[in-house]
Structure 1
C-alpha cells in the first residue's frame, strides 16, 4: 500500500506539500497540485484517516444533523454540503433527527464518540445549552436556519421576514384581494419571521384579519388540513402564502378537491424553492439559495476547524421570488 512518502518521492515535492494538498490547508502551487494528483491516481494512494485520528490528527469527518430528511429541502442542502465537504477531503455523517430532541441528543453523543471534526446543525429542537456544551468540548459548530442571539455559534439564515413580504406583495400585484397564510410551527425562528413578513405586508389592508392565519407543521398533510380550515372560515379567499413548499403542495390539493381552480380562483405561493416541477400547476415560491447555504456552511465549519480568525458569526442570505403558474394573472 502506497504511503504519503511514496507520493512525495514520486512527485518530487516534500511530505509537507503533499499534506497541505490533501488537507486543503496552505499554499500549493498549481503545477505541484497537478503533479501530486497524477501521482496519487497512479499509486492509488488513500490517506489512512484512522491512523491520523489515533495520532491525534483530524478524523476528516463532519456530522450533519437535519430535522426531516423527507422534506426535499434537506436532501438538496445535504447534497451541497457533501459536495463542498468532498472538496475539502471530508466525509459527511448524516443524522436525521425527526424533530425529536431525545434522538438529537443521542446523535450528538454518537458524533462525539466518532470524534468528528465539527458539526453542521439544522434543528428545530436544539437548545443553546447543547451548543455551548459542544463548544466547551472544542467541537466547531455551524447552526443553520436558526439563531440564538446570546450565543457565539456561527449561524446561517435567510431573509425570512422579507420573503413573507415578497409573497404577499406578489399576490396583491397578481390581483388577489383576500390572502390567507399557512404558518409553520411558532417554535421555529424562520417560521415566526415568515409570518411576521405576511403580517407586515397585510396589516392596514381592508381584508386582513388574524383568522386568515392557519397553523401547520411544515408537512403536506399539515398544509392540506390548514387549508381546509381556512376555507371553512373564509370561502372567498383568493390568495395563499404557505411558509414552505410542502405545505403549499398540501394547500393546493385541498383547494383543488373543493373545486377551486389554481390560479384562476386562488393563487398560491410557497417558500424554499425546492424541486417540485411535478406539481400541476407549477408552484410560485420564495426561493432560498440552497447551494450557497450548503457551501457556506461547510466553508465556515472548515474555517472554525482550522481556527481561522475571520469567520463571520451571523450570515443572512437574500431570498428570491420565483414566479410560476400557480400565481399567473387571470
Structure 2
C-alpha cells in the first residue's frame, strides 16, 4: 500500500500539503488538489477514513512522540507525562519515532485518527515531518529537543556542556575527545558549544567526533593518535558504551581516561565505575510538558517556554584532586 510520503513525491508537493488536502485543514490550490487526487488514484492510496468520520469533539487523549524509548532517559520522561496526564483525567498514546520520518508520520497520523486533543513531542527528524505535524492544527508542546519559536520545556543544555568540561578539567584533562550527536538538534549543539567554550578558555586541547558513526577501532585509534585522557559523551548510554570499549582494550577509568556522561539515568549510579554525569530532571520535564499542554487545551494561563536547571553529579568515572 502506498504511503502519504509516496503520494507527496508523486504529486511533486510536500507531505504537509497532502496532509492538508486529506484533512481539509488548510488552503490547497485547485491545481495542487488535482495533482494530489491523481496521485492518490494512480497509486491506489487509501487514507484511513476513521479520522474523517470521528465526531469533531475534544477527546481526553494526548499523543506522546519520543525519539528513542529504549533510552532510559525518555522512559522516565514518559512516566512523568503519563502520571500528570492521568492525574488530570487524560490518557496517553505513546509513539517511538526512532528519528525516522516515516515512523514519525505514521504516529502523527495515528494520533490524528484517535482524535487526540494535543501532542507532546521531541524535535522531529526533518522540517518536512514537522510541517506535516503542524498541519494537523493540534495544540502541542515540544520537550528536550526543541525549536526556539514554539512552546517547549527543556533544560539548560549550555550549562550542562560547561559543567561536563569543568569536571574533566578538575581531573587534570590535557587532551579531550568530545563525542557529539546531531548538532542540528539545539540540545546537542548547546552542550557541544558549552563544553568547547570552557575548554577554549582553559586552553585545553580537544577534538570531536560523531558518536553514532564511530566504530570501536576508530575510537581506540583516535585515543592513541591524540593521547586522549578524557572523553565527554553526549549522553549516559553513549558513555556506558565508551567505558565498555575502554575496558576491553585494558584502559583504566578514570586513571587512564576519565569519562563524563549526560542525563543521570538510573544505571549511572550502579554501573562500575559509577558514572560522573549531568543530571537532567527527566520526570519533571515530562510532568511540566504535560501540565503546559493541558493548560493550553483548557485555555489557562501558562509559561510558553520553560528552561529547567541541570546539576553535576560527580562519581567514580572522573579523577579528583
Name the TM-score, length of structure 1 as normaliser: 0.75
Q: 2:255 aligns with which of 248, 264, 275?
A: 264
Further displaced range: 133-142 or 299-308: 133-142
1:227 is paired with a residue whose SS is helix
Name the residue aligned to 2:165: 168
Task: Return the alpha-carbon distance in structure 2 between the equivalents of residues 100 and 131 of structure 1.
Answer: 12
String of CA shifts for 1:63-120, please: whole Å, max 9, x gaps: 1001111111111111111111110111111101111111111111111111001110
In structure 2, the gaps of 5 or more residues are 1-52
1:216 paired to 2:211: yes
C-alpha contact (below 8 Å) 1:273/1:287 kept by paired residues: yes
Name the residue aligned to 2:190: 193
- Once the two structures are superposed, the pairs formed by residues 92-131 of structure 1 within 5 Å of their partners are 92-127=92-127, 131=130
Further displaced range: 291-300 or 130-139: 130-139
- Once the two structures are superposed, the pairs formed by residues 68-107 of structure 1 within 5 Å of their partners are 68-107=68-107
1:311 paired to 2:302: yes
Shift in Å at residue 288 of structure 1?
0.6
Task: Return the alpha-carbon distance in structure 1 between the equivalents of residues 185 and 223 of structure 2.
Answer: 25
Are the structure 2 counterparts of residues 314 and 61 from structure 1 closer, same or farther at C-alpha, using a change threshold of 3 Å? Answer: same
Name the TM-score, length of structure 2 as normaliser: 0.77
Task: Return the alpha-carbon distance in structure 1 between the equivalents of residues 55 and 107 of structure 2.
Answer: 25
Name the residue aligned to 1:286: 278
* CA RMSD, 1 decimal: 2.3
Name the residue aligned to 1:141: 140
C-alpha contact (below 8 Å) 2:54/2:115 kept by paired residues: no
1:272 is paired with a residue whose SS is coil
Name the residue aligned to 2:44: none
In structure 1, the gaps of 5 or more residues are 1-52
Task: Return the alpha-carbon distance in structure 2 between the equivalents of residues 225 and 312 of structure 1.
Answer: 47
Shift in Å at residue 123 of structure 1?
3.2
2:266 is paired with a residue whose SS is coil
Shift in Å at residue 270 of structure 1?
0.3
1:323 paired to 2:314: yes
Shift in Å at residue 227 of structure 1?
3.3
C-alpha contact (below 8 Å) 2:66/2:121 kept by paired residues: yes
2:192 is paired with a residue whose SS is helix
Shift in Å at residue 222 of structure 1?
5.3
Task: Return the alpha-carbon distance in structure 1 between the equivalents of residues 220 and 77 of structure 2.
Answer: 31
Further displaced range: 253-262 or 159-168: 253-262
1:327 is paired with a residue whose SS is coil
C-alpha contact (below 8 Å) 2:122/2:146 kept by paired residues: no
Pick the structure with greater CA Rg: 1
